[in-house]
A and B are shown apart, each in its own frame.
Chain A
Amino acid sequence: MPDLASAGGLRAVLHDQRAAIVRFLTARTGSMDLAQDLYQELWLRLGHANPGPIANPPAYLMRAANNLALDYRRGELRARARDAAWLDLDNPAMAAPDQRPDPAMGADEVIAAGQELALLRLAIERLPPGARRAVTLHRIDGLPHADVAAVMGISRSGVEKHIAVAMKQLRRTFWDWGAEATAASDNEHHSKEHGHD
């Protein structure tokens, strides 16, 4: 099958690029062990992916490694959100499994996803009105800058400034969230396999 052939080809490239990818992952995650784990994960996932034609395989693999590092980081942050949320009765995860959005997903995952969304929503609501409107229209509703400018009755550069302000503030919120989570888990091991108790 062609997808197997292309996965095999990608794995060969992955092998060739191993040093660069592990070095990148080490810098990206701050842990050499974790970098090795993620490299293995990348190897495994290439067996299932059917990426179609790829113009630049080494760059594709670096991007994939980068995505994997972000996924892992999100997993860490969610783990913290889970611990905090069990008593929230409004949470959809409290519903019986067959009433959950996706019964296959663990209750704690539902909670964690909800918290991520809640944090993002709160951060957006706290933006200055112009910044909030611009970022909502552009990033959430998908309107190009020119359309956002028309809807808001301001110039394109005004739109760009609003969006820059919004993105700075949103990043700051999630940077703070990440810093708290990191501080809270500093005493624990870094990798998932060695998670607490």
Chain B
Amino acid sequence: MTDVSIMDTAAQWHEQVTAETVDWDAFTLWLEADPGHARAYDAVALVDALIAERAPALAGLTAANDDPAGNDNGVPMRTPSRRWAGAALAGLAAVAAALVLAFLPVWPGHGEWQTGDGAQTVALADGTRIVLAPHSRLTRAGDRLALAGGAVFAVPHRPDRTLTISAGELTISDIGTHFDLRNDDGIVRLSLDEGQVSVSSTRMAKPVTVAAGQALLFDPADAQISLGAGSTGDWQHDQLSYRDAPLPLVVADIARYGPVPLRADGALAHLHFSGTLRLGTGHDPAADLARLMALDVGMSGRGAVLRAHGQGRGAASRSTGAPPIHPAPIAPTPGTPTN
């Protein structure tokens, strides 16, 4: 029947629209040729949009109803649906919020992910891949994400929409890139190894562009933002590397990625650390850090605590000179924007 081939043609047009290769004049002519063409296109685009935005809710539903007969061939089953378990719990919320079409480019969907001791991969239907670090939380409402903790993002280039990620007081706008973002109680670190992103905040006079190979550090205490060289996602390779990083950040990372909770005595907040710490089986990053910086590590009720050890300094320094991570302080929002 003809509407089968109309549907196939509509699907081809939709593919071209999605791939940004469509000739809009030719598409308009095709739509004008027959009122049925627009209806067929509606069906194609609607199915696509629905699947994309309902993936979290559907993953929960289809997993619960999965027909074992579909997997009777003895092939070991992966259950990637579990990725969405957190979102499926909030299934109703996902359904509801998908309706809020607040922004122009439709990149709909809703979700919430919280990791425990392990990392988790989050795959969005548009091709975005996010590896959420341990003890981290990511929420999504349409094309807006919010992160507490750490995550590595791989985002395909899509000119029709801008993915924004809020981390503390910063908003990172992404245009197709690969980067590592960490938000530890408002102290935000971003390092980029592909593409570029724009970072804005109400406390910055104007957005800052961070390019591939660069890292950004934002401290809400003084709204100071600095750029330097970066390394992306090293925690995925069981190591953490630093160049003159403030000790509290190093400790926050160990607490997140390491085996035991760790905190540092407040008196150590001014120290900086350079070096690489190993994570994973057989390594104790807290003990290594303590040894490298000649600090003591003791146990308290809720985990390990780093404390000063006599007058020893070891590799610790008091941030003298121009630290590599602060080569070029960006104008940190004086009172009013210049224009």
Within 8 A of A (CB), among B168-213: 173, 175, 198, 206-207
Which residues of B have CB within 8 Å of A113? Answer: 95-96, 98-99
Interface string of A100-143 (1 = CB under 8 A from B): 11100100011011101100110011000110110011011111
Contact A143 B17 (CB under 8 A): no
Shortest distance between the CB of B105 and any CB in chain A (Å): 6
Contact B17 A66 (CB under 8 A): yes
B175 near A52 with CB under 8 A, answer: yes
Question: Is B101 a contact partner of A73 (Cβ separation < 8 A)?
Answer: no
Q: What's the minimum C-beta distance from B11 to chain A, rounded to whole angstroms?
A: 7
CB distance from B19 to the nearest CB of A (A): 11
> Is A146's beta carbon under 8 Å from chain B?
no
Question: CB distance B75 to A116 under 8 Å?
Answer: no
Asked if B309 CB lies within 8 Å of chain A CBs, one says no
Tally B residues with Cβ within 8 Å of A: 78
> Please, what's the 1-or-0 string for A6-30, where 1 marks a CB less than 8 Å from any CB in chain B?
0000000000000010011001111
User: Does B299 touch A at the CB level, under 8 Å?
Assistant: no
How distant is B265 from chain A, measured CB to nearest CB, in Å?
43
B171 (CB) vs chain A CBs: closest residue: A50
Asked if residues A2 and B206 are in contact (CB atoms below 8 Å), the reply is yes
A171 touches B35 (CB 8 A): no
Residue pair A56, B43 in contact (C-beta under 8 Å): no
**Complex CA–CA separation, A140 to B62 (angstroms):** 10
Contacts of B80 in A (CB 8 A): 137, 141-143
Chain B nearest Cβ from A184, distance in angstroms: 14
Is residue B281 contacting chain A, with contact meaning CB distance below 8 A?
A: no
Which stretch from B48-56, B256-264, B325-333 is at the chain A interface? B48-56
Taking CB atoms and an 8 Å cut-off, the chain B residues in 86-106 that contact chain A are 90, 92-101, 103-106
Q: Please tell me if A84 contacts chain B, counting CB pairs below 8 Å.
A: no
* In contact, A140 and B38 (Cβ under 8 angstroms): no
Contact A24 B95 (CB under 8 A): no
CB-CB contacts below 8 Å: A39-87 with B: 42, 45-46, 48-56, 58-60, 62-64, 66-68, 70-71, 73-74, 77
Chain B residues near A133 (CB, 8 Å)?
A: 70-71
From residue B39, how far is it (CB to closest CB) to chain A in Å? 6
Shortest CB-to-CB span from A126 to chain B, Å, is 12
Q: Which residue of A lies closest to B163 (CB)?
A: A52
Contact A101 B92 (CB under 8 A): yes
- Taken residue by residue from 143 to 161, chain A's Cβ proximity to chain B (1 for < 8 Å, 0 otherwise) reads as 1000000011100000000
Contact indicator A27/B38 (Cβ below 8 Å):
yes
Are B104 and A142 in contact, CB atoms less than 8 angstroms apart? no
Q: Which residues of B contact A70 (CB under 8 A)?
A: 42, 45-46, 49, 106
Contact (Cβ within 8 A) B207 A178: no
Contact with B along A178-191 (1 / 0, CB 8 A): 11001000000000
Q: Which of A29, A66, A172 has most chain B Cβ within 10 Å?
A: A66
Partner of A120, one of B11, B40, B42, B50: B50
Q: How far is the CA of A24 from the CA of B29 in the complex (A)?
A: 9
- Interface presence of A32 (CB below 8 A): no
Report the separation of the CA atoms of residues A117 and B101 in the bound assembly, to the nearest whole angstrom.
16
Residues in B1-50 with C-beta less than 8 Å from chain A: 3-4, 7-8, 11, 17, 20, 24-25, 27-28, 31-32, 35, 38-47, 49-50
Q: Enumerate chain A interface residues (CB-CB to B < 8 A).
A: 1-2, 20, 23-24, 27-30, 42, 45-46, 48-56, 58-60, 62-64, 66-68, 70-71, 73-74, 77, 92, 100-102, 105, 109-110, 112-114, 116-117, 120-121, 124-125, 129-130, 132-133, 136-137, 139-143, 151-153, 167-168, 170-172, 174-175, 178-179, 182
A-B CB contact pairs (8 Å), 15 listed: A27-B28, A49-B103, A70-B49, A100-B96, A105-B99, A124-B58, A136-B62, A140-B58, A141-B123, A168-B7, A170-B51, A171-B11, A171-B44, A172-B43, A178-B43
* Residues of chain B having any CB pair with chain A under 8 Å: 3-4, 7-8, 11, 17, 20, 24-25, 27-28, 31-32, 35, 38-47, 49-52, 54-55, 57-59, 61-62, 65, 67, 69-71, 73, 75, 77-78, 80-81, 83-84, 90, 92-101, 103-106, 123-125, 127, 129, 159-162, 173, 175, 198, 206-207, 337
Beyond A71-B101, A101-B94, A141-B83, 13 extra complex contacts between A and B, CB < 8 Å: A20-B28, A52-B162, A59-B20, A67-B104, A70-B106, A105-B99, A129-B67, A130-B70, A139-B55, A140-B55, A143-B123, A152-B75, A168-B7
